[in-house]
A and B are shown apart, each in its own frame.
Chain A
Amino acid sequence: MIEWFTATDHKKIGIMYIVATMTFFVAAGILAMMIRAQLARPDNALLSAQLYNQIFTLHGTAMIFFVIAPFGLGLANFIVPLQIGAPDMAFPRLNATSLWLFILGGIIMFLGFATYGGASANGWTNYAPLSEISEGTGAGNDFWTIGVLMAGVSTILTAVNLTTTVFLLRAPGMTMWRVPIFTWEIVATSLLILMAFPSLTAVLFMVLIDRHLGGHFFDPVYGGNPILYQHLFWFFGHPEVYVMILPYFGIVTEVIATFSHKPVFGYVGLVLAAFAIAGLSIGVWAHHMFTTGAVSNPFFSAVSFLIAVPTGVKFVNWIGTMWKGSLEFTTAMLFSLGFLFNFLLGGITGVMVASPPIDYQTHDSYFIVHHFHYTLGGGSMFALFSALFFWFPKIFGVRLNETLGKWFFWLMFIGFNLTFLPMAFMGIEGMARRVYTYPNVEHLALLNGLATAGGAIMGIAFLLFIANVFISAFANVPVPSNPWGGYSLEWATSSPPPEHNFETLPPITSRRPALDLMNT
């Protein structure tokens, strides 16, 4: 047991990331179920308004900072060194430090529920001056700030580690232009983290200074400026959504190419699109601030529209990869296809709200909740499960049950769309987000009822997934090194890999070394 606490091997750290993020996922999922229970009927009083605020705050924060973003980087921790033929990450001790900063950060944030006054209730954005008013947001908000601060610093350290690893530790012959797309997406993500995350660290320290050390950065009474908070927060906050999507683009690319049994279509285009998305996402932060009237709406709107272009390129590449391939509909493939469908819907509403007139109408309504759940839930979360089914045999040496997996996928797909599609219409009918109840007007009762039913289906589906993990682990059927006919280098070593990753490295002469090895 103690060896796990002191482990610096990237595979153990990767596994701990996966276990920790899935644990936080369960906690955030339970909070989501409570939200849906409260909203099941109009004028419901199951939860108090203040408790509801705490629940949606921790649901959002946990999903963003402690599930979706760290799962991508944690998976990269396991997979990237294997994909490039490295014996470990460049800085193993730094890697372990990142892991523990992240885990302790998540724990301290959730401990907010145990404090007098409860957990933070300010939403995941923690806007000032709200976050600086002490009443009702006592230690819980401090715990939240400390937790997110630690997760943010952990992310920066991981980005340094991953970039260094990919740039310097590639195996002989593994040139940058032979590196798999997942690794490329991780490089783009890491560069984006290095550009955007320092702003988060700064703004959270400023909040702590204001709250405890007599500062007035965001307090207009003393000459501070609350808009400054929004600038600093969203300068990090928008790139963060790409930190939560780029790794998942990588996963989907690998899964689709593997189960289409074809090389990736438009490899260079995919790489360039990843960097175009990362670069553009630095120039769009104030599209979250259109309604403040304090920013240049035309600039931020125009750059936001531009992001649709490289994203469209990626869709063309994914479809081109499947074109005339012999498709194999495994659970991993189904989840990646589900990703394409859901993310497309989320992307289209994204283009809509990038237009200031539409944003003025839908700002802070359920339309926005609909939009970002389609990108991060139907998008990233579906790709997350795709990755688990795809790499589970490599990481743990057992394959997950495919029949249960397909049931899990279809229940998730139906449950997800049933939950979040109605939210678009709730938003159009004027239902505000972050409000603990709503009156029985228009079709709100019906739409919310559907959403809660969908939430219940997703809950049941997830129980099926947990059962699948245990059943598959007990069955314990050993898997070969390359169970799916994968092409990238991680499939050329045993499942799970030995301590130093490769007993013998195969020669790398193309972008598909594992297939080359199978054919010789």
Chain B
Amino acid sequence: MKTFVGLFFTSTGFGLAILIAYWFIGHEETTGTVLLAIMTSALAFAATYAVIAERNARLDGDGEKLTPEDTKGEDLGIFTTQSAYPILVALSVLFMLLGILYSPLLAFVAIVALLLCLWRLGAESARI
């Protein structure tokens, strides 16, 4: 098992332990129990996903004896260095939140802008 999968499993186990302890000691208090239960199930989901993801992952970083020579010419994909969409997404989120509070029209425009930016961002990252 890879270290990071183990990490997610340990975290889930830990969440479960705290949940059970809290259940027995603080039983009159449901808010905390529910919060811990939600947190633990989210961790369990992440741990399960990690197991599935691990199956077809081959990580150079886990090869103790691997050197950069061995992985020469391997395709790492492209790391973009410029994109205008992140800042536009952030601006749309800001105006969406302001719109929800003060102006339905602004909220509508901002949501449209946000969806448009996310769509273009997705298209941009699919292109390369």
Q: Do A and B come from one complex?
A: yes
Interface of A is mostly: helix
Does B68 lie within 8 Å of A504, measured CB to CB?
yes
Question: In the complex, which residues 434-485 of chain A have their Cβ closer than 8 Å to any Cβ of chain B?
Answer: none
Q: A177 at interface (Cβ–Cβ under 8 A)? A: yes
**How far is it, in angstroms, between the C-alpha of A99 and the C-alpha of B18 when the chains are bound?**
33
What are 21 sample pairs from A and B whose C-beta atoms fall under 8 A apart? A6-B83, A6-B86, A9-B81, A92-B81, A93-B124, A100-B91, A101-B93, A104-B93, A142-B101, A150-B90, A171-B61, A171-B68, A172-B66, A195-B43, A231-B35, A275-B7, A279-B14, A282-B14, A283-B21, A504-B68, A508-B67
Least distance between A128 CB and chain B CB atoms (Å): 14
Residues of B within 8 A of A5 (CB): 84, 87
1/0 per residue A269-295: CB within 8 Å of B? 000000100010011011000000011
Question: In the complex, which residues 42-76 of chain B have their Cβ closer than 8 Å to any Cβ of chain A?
Answer: 42-43, 46, 57, 59-71, 76
Does B91 lie within 8 Å of A172, measured CB to CB?
no
Does B79 lie within 8 Å of A231, measured CB to CB?
no
A-B contact count (CB 8 A): 172
**How far is it, in angstroms, between the C-alpha of A173 and the C-alpha of B59 when the chains are bound?**
10
Residues of A within 8 A of B36 (CB): 282
Does A6 lie within 8 Å of B32, measured CB to CB?
no
Q: A88 at interface (Cβ–Cβ under 8 A)? A: yes
- Say whether, besides A93-B83, A172-B61, A212-B101, A146 and B94 are in contact (CB < 8 Å): yes
Residues of A within 8 A of B82 (CB): 3, 6-8
Q: A191 at interface (Cβ–Cβ under 8 A)? A: yes
Does B21 lie within 8 Å of A97, measured CB to CB?
no
- Say whether, besides A172-B68, A175-B62, A499 and B21 are in contact (CB < 8 Å): no
- Give residues in B with beta carbon < 8 Å to A: 3-4, 7, 10-11, 14-15, 18, 21-22, 25-26, 29, 31-32, 35-36, 39, 42-43, 46, 57, 59-71, 76, 79-87, 89-91, 93-94, 97-98, 100-101, 121, 124-125
Q: A87-B79, A173-B65 are in contact. List 14 more A-B contacts (CB 8 A).
A: A5-B84, A8-B80, A92-B81, A93-B125, A97-B86, A104-B94, A168-B61, A195-B39, A232-B31, A232-B35, A275-B7, A279-B14, A282-B18, A505-B68
Does A92 lie within 8 Å of B32, measured CB to CB?
no
Q: A51 at interface (Cβ–Cβ under 8 A)? A: no
Q: A130 at interface (Cβ–Cβ under 8 A)? A: no
**How far is it, in angstroms, between the C-alpha of A212 and the C-alpha of B89 when the chains are bound?**
24
- Say whether, besides A171-B60, A173-B64, A295 and B29 are in contact (CB < 8 Å): yes
Q: A52 at interface (Cβ–Cβ under 8 A)? A: no
Least distance between B80 CB and chain A CB atoms (Å): 5
Q: A96 at interface (Cβ–Cβ under 8 A)? A: yes
Does A87 lie within 8 Å of B76, measured CB to CB?
yes
Does B94 lie within 8 Å of A108, measured CB to CB?
yes
Among A7, A105, A142, A227, which residue has its beta carbon within 8 angstroms of that of B81?
A7
Residues of A within 8 A of B57 (CB): 168
Residues of B within 8 A of A88 (CB): 79
Question: In the complex, which residues 152-178 of chain A have their Cβ closer than 8 Å to any Cβ of chain B?
Answer: 153, 163, 166-177
**How far is it, in angstroms, between the C-alpha of A500 and the C-alpha of B77 when the chains are bound?**
13
Least distance between A51 CB and chain B CB atoms (Å): 24
**How far is it, in angstroms, between the C-alpha of A146 and the C-alpha of B107 when the chains are bound?**
14
Q: A360 at interface (Cβ–Cβ under 8 A)? A: no
- Say whether, besides A171-B60, A176-B4, A295 and B68 are in contact (CB < 8 Å): no
Among B11, B63, B97, which residue has its beta carbon within 8 angstroms of that of A191?
B11
Does A175 lie within 8 Å of B61, measured CB to CB?
yes
Residues of A within 8 A of B59 (CB): 167-168, 170
Question: In the complex, which residues 225-268 of chain A have their Cβ closer than 8 Å to any Cβ of chain B?
Answer: 227-228, 231-232, 235
Residues of A within 8 A of B65 (CB): 173
Residues of A within 8 A of B3 (CB): 175-177
